[in-house]
C-alpha cells in the first residue's frame, strides 16, 4: 500500500519518538530528537526535518553515535563551560548545552558554552526558541563537515557552518535568524536530489569547480559561501570558535555523517546566552523591540513588495500553516520512514493527516 505524503505533525512526532525509543534511545532523549526534527519541518526547513531520521538511525545501528552516553561538563569557570557530548545524538547534546548556557547566564548575566564530541544537531532555531521562551538572547554556532570551498578554491574544506540568533519581543514576532554560511543549506540540495529537481544556478559547483544546476553533481562537488568572501570568512570564524577553541574537529577533521563510517563526527558547537534583565528590564526591552520591529515593517515598500518581514517571521507563519494543514513529505522520505517504522514496529500510517485533524487545530488557534 502506498501511503499518502501528508502527515499530522503531532502524530509524526510520536512516530519518530517511538522509532528512536525502540532503537535504544532513552525516552527523554527520543523526545528531544523527535521534537527537533518535527520543529524543523514545521518551520519549513525540510532539509533538517524527518528527512534526517534515516541517517540518524543508521549511525545508531552502526555504533557511530552513542545514544547511551551522557554529555558531561568537562570544565567550568565563572561564565564559561565546556561540554563533552561523548558522541551522543547532536540534538541531545545541544539541548543539554543550551540548558546549561541559559541557567548560567541567569546567574552570571552572560554565559558561553562550548561543545565538543557532538554530532549533527539539527536547526539552530530549535535552541534559539528555547532562549526566547526564557526571555533571553541566544547566539548559536556549529561547525560541520567539509562541503564548501574557501574563496579561491574549488575543493570543499569548511562546512556550511550555521549561525542562529534568537531575540524575544512583546506583541511582535521575535527576531529569529537561522542561516547557513553557504548560499543554501546543503540539506536543501539533498531534498532537491530526492525529488529529482534541479537547483538554481549559483548554489553550488561540481567536483571540477564548475557551476551546476544538477543536484547530484552539486552533492559530489561543493556548495558556495553566501556573499562570497564574506560568507567564507564568517564560516571560518565559526569553525575556529566551535572547533579549534573547544577541542572538537575543525576543517577536514569534522567527519561526514553520510560518508565516514569509521570515526565519530566530533562536531563542535558554541552557545552564547545573554540575560536581558542585566541591561534593561525585560518588559521595557520587549516594548522597545516591538517599536523597532513595527517601525521597520512600516518603512516604504519597494515596487511589487506587499510586506516587509523580519528574520523568522515566515517560519512562524509556516509553523501555524503546517500545524493546521499537515506536513507534506517527498515520496522517497515517506518510503524510508515506512521501512524504518516496520523495522522498529511503529506504524507510519497512523500519522497520516486527515482534514479532521486540521479543523481541530484551527479551532484551537482561533
Q: Is 259 exposed, middle or buried (0-12, 13-18, 19+ CB in 10 A)?
A: exposed
Pairing of strands 72-76, 6-7: unpaired
Q: What are phi and psi of 341, to 5 degrees?
A: -60, -40
* Residue 196 dihedral angles phi and psi, to the nearest 5°: 70, 30
Distances (CA, A) of 234 to 141, 228, 237, 337: 11, 10, 5, 35
Residue with cell 563551560: 81
Q: Which three cell numbers stand for residue 344?
A: 522498529
Single out the residue of 73, 112, 114, 71 nearest to residue 240, CA to CA: 114
Q: Which grid coordinates belong to 186?
A: 546543503
Catalytic residues: 120
> Which residues touch 64 (CB under 8 Å, ≥6 apart)?
257, 261, 264
The β-bridge partners of 76 are 81
Residues sharing a CB contact under 8 Å with residue 90, sequence separation 6 or more, in sequence order:
118, 119, 120, 121, 122, 267
Amino acid at each position: 500500500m502506498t501511503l499518502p505524503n501528508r502527515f499530522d505533525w503531532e502524530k509524526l512526532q510520536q512516530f519518530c519518538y517511538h522509532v528512536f525509543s525502540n532503537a535504544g534511545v532513552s525516552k527523554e532523549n527520543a523526545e528531544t530528537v523527535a521534537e527537533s526534527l518535527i520543529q524543523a519541518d514545521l518551520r519549513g526547513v525540510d532539509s533538517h526535518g524527518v528527512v534526517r531520521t534515516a541517517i540518524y538511525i543508521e549511525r545508531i545501528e552502526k555504533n557511530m553515535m552513542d545514544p547511551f552516553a551522557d554529555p558531561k561538563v568537562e570544565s567550568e569557570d565563572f561564565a564559561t563551560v565546556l561540554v563533552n557530548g561523548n558522541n551522543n545524538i547532536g540534538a541531545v547534546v545541544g539541548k543539554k548545552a543550551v540548558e546549561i548556557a541559559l541557567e548560567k547566564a541567569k546567574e552570571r548575566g552572560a554565559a558561553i558554552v562550548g561543545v565538543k564530541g557532538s554530532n549533527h544537531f539539527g536547526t539552530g532555531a530549535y535552541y534559539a526558541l528555547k532562549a526566547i521562551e526564557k526571555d533571553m538572547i541566544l547566539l548559536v554556532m556549529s561547525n560541520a563537515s567539509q562541503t564548501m570551498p574557501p574563496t579561491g578554491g574549488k575543493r570543499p574544506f569548511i562546512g556550511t557552518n550555521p549561525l542562529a540568533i534568537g531575540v524575544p519581543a512583546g506583541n511582535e514576532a521575535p527576531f529569529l535568524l537561522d542561516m547557513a554560511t553557504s548560499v543554501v543549506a546543503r540539506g536543501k540540495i539533498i531534498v532537491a536530489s530526492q525529488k529529482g529537481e534541479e537547483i538554481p544556478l549559483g548554489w553550488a559547483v561540481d567536483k571540477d569547480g564548475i557551476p551546476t544546476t544538477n543536484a547530484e553533481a552539486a552533492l559530489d562537488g561543493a556548495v558556495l559561501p553566501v556573499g562570497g568572501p564574506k560568507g567564507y570568512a564568517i564560516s571560518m570564524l565559526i569553525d575556529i570558535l566551535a572547533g579549534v577553541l573547544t577541542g572538537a574537529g575543525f576543517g577536514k577533521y569534522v567527519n561526514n555523517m553520510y560518508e565516514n563510517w569509521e570515526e565519530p563526527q566530533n562536531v563542535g558547537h558554541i552557545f552564547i546566552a545573554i540575560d536581558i534583565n542585566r541591561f534593561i528590564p525585560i518588559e521595557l526591552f520587549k516594548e522597545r523591540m516591538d517599536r523597532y520591529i513595527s517601525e521597520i515593517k512600516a518603512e516604504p515598500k519597494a515596487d511589487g513588495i506587499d510586506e516587509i518581514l523580519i528574520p523568522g517571521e515566515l517560519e512562524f507563519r509556516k509553523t501555524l500553516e503546517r500545524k493546521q494543514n499537515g506536513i507534506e513529505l517527498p515520496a522517497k522520505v515517506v518510503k524510508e520512514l515506512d521501512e524504518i517504522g516496520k523495522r522498529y514496529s511503529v506504524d507510519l500510517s497512523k500519522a497520516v493527516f486527515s482534514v479532521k485533524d486540521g479543523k481541530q487545530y484551527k479551532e484551537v488557534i482561533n
